[in-house]
Amino acid sequence: MTGSQAAAPFTADDYRARMDRAARAAAGAGLAGLLVAPGPDLVWLTGYAPPADTERLTLLVLAPDRDPVLVVPALEAPDARNAAGASALTLHDWTDGKDPYAATAALLDASGRFGVSDNAWAMHLLALQRTLPGTSYASLTEALPMLRAVKDAAELDLVAAAGAAADAAFEEIRGVRFGGRRESEVAADLAGLLRRFGHSQVDFTIVASGPNGANPHHEVGDRVIEDGDMVVLDFGGLKDGYGSDTSRTVHVGEPTDEERRVHDLVREAQEAGFRAVRPGAACQDVDRAARAVIAGAGYGEYFIHRTGHGIGVTTHEPPYMIEGEEQPLVPGMCFSVEPGVYLPGRFGVRIEDIVTVTEDGGRRFNDTTREMVVVE
């Protein structure tokens, strides 16, 4: 997050509706309200993105039976007033030397339990707790994991546009030279392409060649890519406030039969995961469908991560496509389907698309070829 306002096309009414919905969801979860700190929740609820590094308290207070209040340092108030959702809330500004916690406490049920953004500073939460010892707190993501999960039509357009931009970046990168260049150089190309196609923020540009591809956490290094390498590319960021995240695995020169076989297997697993997407299916069904294909071919022990994660105003958020997650899929949810096979010391393959749930199945927001691409 930066200090810039999200460029998303939402009105004060959209933000008012989101804040209403969040307050009702909080009441439904037995909470007295929500305390939202600067970060993705605040952007989604209000359109306001204050500087991430300020130590002064900024906090949105949502409670079921009162209007939303944004507690904000006086020096940030002019920017807060310019946020797209500002007219849907009341600003309470505070000046240095005043106690912002006492001002916030006056807005809260003194014995209530509140949902708090995961990224709220401990300093602020501890001070609130000291001011109101009868209150208690729950992580917002644990209490209301699906708060931002179901996207409306305008949000879906933005996720689709971010995906199309990432696809355009892939179409360009497949034409650049890989052999003889460092992973870090190809990653820099990818970051430049994401920006060229409209991303304001690049979150990751993984270029994992040869044996590095077997480590799903490998980001990028100085390894020189060689002829014969498989190269896992996994890249994304934010375009107009919404995320992209796609993976393709390319090969430098002609692949071996085994490399083709493993790549085909991951492609079939990705297809099976995608086909499991429909309203009412559980998140874990998507994971199971993809995993069954890989396990059935004897590679189960080499698929060492969950099948997917949600995406929206961040590139990783609920819902998670993982065994044990029984949350039913709902039209408008957006998440990745990204199985992989990782052969230690040798190579890895991952194929990832962002998918949304439709009334009768799933729709991909990434659609570059899932066949193995041979690069130079």
- Site residues for Zn ion per CB under 5 A: 228, 234, 245, 247, 259, 336, 352
Q: Are 347 and 211 in contact (CB under 8 A)?
A: yes
Least spacing, CB of residue 352 vs Zn ion, in Å: 5
Nearest to Zn ion of 61, 207 (CB atom): 207
Instruction: Pick between residue 22 and residue 375 the one whose CB is nearest to Zn ion.
Output: 375
**Nearer to Zn ion among residue 18 and residue 218 (C-beta):** 218
Going 37 to 39 to 43 to 48, the CA torsion angle's sign is positive
Task: Give the E-state strand segments of the chain in sequence order.
Answer: 33-36, 59-63, 66-73, 90-94, 113-116, 136-139, 201-209, 230-239, 242-243, 246-252, 308-310, 317-321, 334-337, 340-343, 347-350, 353-358, 361-364, 373-375
- What's the closest the beta carbon of residue 55 comes to Zn ion, in angstroms? 32
Contact 309, 335 (CB under 8 A): yes
| Rounded least distance, CB 334 to Zn ion, Å | 11
Within 8 A by CB and 6+ apart from 68, the residues are 19, 23, 46, 60, 61, 62, 88, 89, 90
CB of residue 340 to Zn ion, shortest distance in Å? 10
Shortest gap between Cβ of 307 and Zn ion (angstroms)?
Answer: 10
228/361 with CB nearer Zn ion: 228
Four-point Cα dihedral 16, 21, 25, 31, nearest 10: 20
The nearer residue to Zn ion, 29 or 322, going by C-beta atoms, is: 322
Minimal distance in Å, beta carbon 122 to Zn ion?
28
Residue closer to Zn ion (CB basis): 73 or 163? 163
